[in-house]
Amino acid sequence: MSDDPFSHLRHELRTPLNQIIGYSEMMEEEAVDSGQQGFVSDLQKIQKAARNLLETISTHLSPDSTGKIDAKLQPAAQAKTDKPVTRRETPPGTGHLLVVDDNEMNRDMLSRKLEREGFSVDVAADGRQALEVVRKTPFDLVLLDIMMPELDGYEVLERMKADAQLRHIPVIMISALDELESVVRCIEIGAEDYLPKPFNPTLLRARIGACLEKKQLRDQEQRTYQALVESQKHLAAELAEAAEYVKSLLPPPLNGEINAESRFIPSTQLGGDAFGYHWLDPENFAMYLLDVCGHGVGAALLSISAMNVLRSQSLAADFKHPGAVLAALNDAFQMDNQNNMYFTIWYGVFNKTNRILTYSSGGHPPSVLISDHRPPLQLRTEGMVIGSMPGVQFQTAQCPLPPDSRLFVFSDGTYEITKRDGSMFQLEEFTQRLAGTTDLDDLISFIKEMNKGATFDDDFSIMKLQF
């Protein structure tokens, strides 16, 4: 630890003197508290004599002054005067402390001092016992002696700071060693502070108080963090439950005159996609997909509300006329009344007798029609998003559907992704991919493989209808 040949000798000589100072200080405090001022002067003389001896030891058993702790840390230079002592009015301490020292008198003296301050104190006689105790019992602070046989304070400190369970416990190193090298080593390992023996009572209280205050702040931060983690887990569970509820409202596959199937992959947040298809009457089949701006519970509630209106046909509109349906939706769901949220939608009606698809869209991506012997056809009309302003009219368009036509209706979350090379996947690329798509799961696998992220940033919603 040091090339100083007198280091160990100084330590051994200081130990009994520190004990004399410590016990006489406690006796002085007790005399003051009990009103027996007559003993105070003699006890102060004992302390002064012991401190003088300590100063003599430091002076005559040191080869030079190099490597010594700064004078501010030397209690020997802070010898008390014989002025009258008043009763202490220090507020009681709080906290569970562990005192680790191989010297029984040192343990007893320090633990008594701390208990008089109001602390709860346990003791350990060596380093191994200290490690066993701190693993079984929670402590707010450890006061750890450096010079101990077998497992010294440095090793105990290193093991505590290497242990995830123990590293958060603050440690104040205590020792009769007076070497700056010792202080630096302790601080580098992770000690909160260093106190030389004998303890200045005021300095001891201040250092312990500062460490405990920092510990309380860390504990509060940890409790706040854990509460936040639990809150996030609870919120995530509720959002997952809400997402499952939204999925339960989506239509099952349909087989018959029209074959229909869909896929819905929620993003990491609860989104606002909703879609459906159903027969309006024996001749007309309706299909629709809407996408509410943003994410979260509000977006999901708005999408469910709009979907239920479409399923129940509860608007004052002819549901076989897509433009009229969108106009009625726009008036019913004005964003001023929906927390400034709006949505896009594609709505179509297929008449099986004349095989005509009538459709309208409001700010939504086009649907894509795939039929034999012709390029993919994007079906879209000009129209504002739903909810932007009242009284808006929406265009309606028509398209014949050849036999075995496939129609893909989707949200922008299916193609607005960042590819692995950093570029954006474009609608035209997606349209060409749909031309060769017969299986939606194969399409999803392709998009996932191309997507740069592990999850989709937006809800992935798509319907495939075959007429």
pLDDT(440) > 90: yes
Question: CB within 8 A of 465, min separation 6: which ones?
Answer: 258, 259, 260, 277, 287, 350, 406, 407, 409
Q: What is the pLDDT of residue 268?
A: 67
| Between 76 and 271, residue with greater pLDDT | 271
Distance from C-alpha of 207 to C-alpha of 72, rounded to nearest angstrom:
14
Backbone φ, ψ for residue 342 (5° rounding): -135, 175
Tokens in use for 83? Answer: 């002025």
Q: Which residues pair with 179 in a beta bridge?
A: 68
Q: Which domains does the chain have, with CATH numbers?
A: 7-220 (3.40.50.2300), 250-466 (3.60.40.10)
Contact status, residue 173 vs residue 144, Cβ threshold 8 Å:
yes
> Got the DSSP string for 87-101?
PP-PPPP-SEEEEE-
Q: Which of 46, 75, 70 is nearest to 200 (CA)?
A: 75
Other C-beta atoms closer than 10 Å to the C-beta of 233 total: 10
- List strand residue ranges (DSSP E) for 311-430, in order: 343-351, 356-362, 367-370, 377-379, 397-400, 406-410
Output the pTM of the full model: 0.58
| 412 φ/ψ angles, rounded to the nearest 5 degrees | -70, -15
Percentage of residues of the chain with pLDDT beyond 90: 56
Angle ∠(252,445,453) on CA atoms, nearest 5: 110
Q: What is the pLDDT of residues 244-298, one digit of tens each?
A: 888 888 999 999 999 999 999 887 667 789 999 999 999 999 999 999 998 888 8
Which contacts qualify for 278-282: CB closer than 8 Å, 24 or more apart?
A: 278/251, 278/311, 280/313, 280/319, 280/320, 280/349
pLDDT in tens, 195-252: 887 777 788 888 899 999 988 888 889 899 999 999 988 888 887 787 788 888 899 9
pLDDT of 292: 95
Amino acid at site 413: G
pLDDT of residue 306: 96
| Nearest alpha-carbon partner for 28 in 237, 1, 20 | 20
- The highest-confidence range among 30-39, 240-249, 388-397, by mean pLDDT, is 388-397
Report the pLDDT value the prediction gives residue 456, as an integer from 0 to 100.
86
Quote the pLDDT of residue 122.
Answer: 96
Alpha carbon 409 to chain centroid, angstroms: 38
CB contact at 8 A, 143 and 57: no
pLDDT tens-place string over residues 110-120:
998 899 888 99
Give the mean model confidence (pLDDT) for residues 421-448: 94
- Name, in order, each residue with C-beta under 8 angstroms of 446's C-beta and a sequence gap of 6 or more: 433
Residue 239 CA to residue 252 CA, distance in Å, equals: 22
Q: How far is CA 342 from the centre of its chain?
A: 32
Is 185 in contact with 154 (CB distance < 8 Å)?
Answer: yes
- Residue 195's nearest CA partner among 146, 233, 149 is 146
DSSP string covering 278-315, please?
A: EESSSSEEEEEEEEESS-SHHHHHHHHHHHHHHHHT-S
Calculate what percentage of the chain has a pLDDT beyond 70. 86
